[in-house]
Chain A
Amino acid sequence: MKNEWPLWEIFIRGQHGMSHRHVGSLHAPDAEMAIKNARDVYTRRNEGVSIWVVEARHIAATAPGDKGPLFEPSESKVYRHPTFFDIPEEVGHM
């Protein structure tokens, strides 16, 4: 059965001005229907104010095997966090 509708990934912006978040996926023949279906499936309880749909095959991703080289270097860079720096109390809030 090669006639399966393509897979779309669905992103929804929630109520409170947050960015769009991935919520799931669905099959649809085209973008217009993907949006209609996403509205029916993913926003029936006030979950969203805006929908993005992207055909799944257009998403590029990092490989699980690259997790180490890509993300571990930042673990040792504690000076990137404000808590690394002790500021005397007399200085006040910073």
Chain B
Amino acid sequence: MYAQMIKTASKGVKTREEMTDQEREFQDKIDNDIKIEPRDWMPDDYRRTLIRQIGQHAHSEVVGQLPEGNWITRAPTLERKAILLAKVQDEAGHGLYLYSAAETLGETRDELVKLLHEGRMKYSSIFNYPTLNWADIGAVGWLVDGAAIVNQVALQRTSYGPYSRAMIRICKEESFHARQGYHAIMKMAFGTLEQKKMAQDAVNRLWFPAIMMFGPTDAASTNSDQSMAWKIKVKSNDELRQQFVDQTVPQIEYLGLDLPDPGIKWNEERGHYDFSDPDWTEFFNVIKGNGPCNVDRLSDRKKAWDDGQWVRDGLLAHAQKKSAAKLAAE
């Protein structure tokens, strides 16, 4: 999802007999839903996996500002502009909450940013798709943030305290994101024929990338058993994807739009919608760096970081000078 394909750092789930006393005590806490806090003992692999997952999640929030930021100056009304600006600003905050959570594990923010810029850490595949027009902005808020909510609501119960608290805070802000997106799309779907066509086109293009956000199928996610046992992940990719499809199909129908996948059909027996698999080859390609916008996204992030360097240095130098002067005066 916002963290896809996180390799769990471990050599398979240990049985209770294989665990040390310390590991058993740790697992008991997790099984009893007692949160793990920064200074508590934790297995190295738990720490490493969390840093990867929270870091990737943080990067996704920050890179996720780019496709939407792209439309702030071109929003159709002043009100939509103010709304989009507030939404994008929220995402910056989400990035901050998550980097802060990762920092409690002993990883600095600068180090995480460096790993992203060197291509050694990823962000969600979804942000490597372009936002071509205003309808896409509505669809992103509704579908992409909608998918993020499904994942993040589950993660509120994650075992690491600071991560869980960041998720709770983020979830409080997220439903505004999804609703403003749906509201924008609603205007178009119920607007002129041309607007309705744009809305349909946006849904058609973004549907499969959105359901890819949950990551590969459970059968193909060989690595997640340990993450589930540690409650770093709380629900499986397929469970979350199904939940998203089930909640979103009626929303598409309400708009009077065609379903973006002919395979979507209510399955009475399962009590869920059936749907087609996305093109997993495309997914792995995007993850590898070959999506439509990978190169731009990363170079935009690097440029923003490099261009801001003099500001960070200048403010720090000023602060140091001020505190030295204050010390001298005392």
Contact = CB atoms under 8 A, between A and B. Distances in A.
Contacts of B93: 41, 44
B312 interface: yes
Contacts of B318: 29-30
B16 interface: no
Given A44-B89, A64-B40, A4 B169 contact: no
Given A24-B100, A64-B37, A64-B39, A30 B322 contact: yes
Given A3-B313, A5-B312, A26 B110 contact: no
Interface string B107-121: 011110010000000
Interface string B31-42: 000000101110
A41 B40 contact: no
Contacts of A91: none
B310 to A, nearest CB: 11
A30 B319 contact: yes
A7 interface: yes
B324 interface: no
Interface residues of B, number: 28
B327 interface: no
B219 interface: no
A29 B39 contact: no
A50 B93 CA distance: 19
Contact of B312 (A3, A24, A30, A41): A3
Interface in B44-97: 86, 89-90, 93, 96-97
A5 B89 CA distance: 21
Interface in A1-51: 1, 3-5, 7, 24-27, 29-30, 33, 40-41, 44-45
Contacts of A30: 315, 318-319, 322-323
Nearest to A41: B93
A63 interface: yes
B32 to A, nearest CB: 15
Interface of B: 37, 39-41, 86, 89-90, 93, 96-97, 100, 103, 108-111, 114, 166, 169, 173, 312-313, 315-316, 318-319, 322-323
20 contacts: A1-B108, A3-B110, A3-B313, A3-B316, A4-B108, A4-B109, A5-B315, A24-B166, A24-B169, A25-B103, A26-B100, A30-B315, A30-B323, A33-B315, A40-B89, A44-B89, A44-B90, A44-B93, A61-B39, A64-B41
Q: Nearest 9 A-B pairs (CB), nearest first?
A: A30-B319, A29-B319, A29-B315, A1-B110, A29-B316, A25-B100, A4-B110, A64-B40, A41-B93
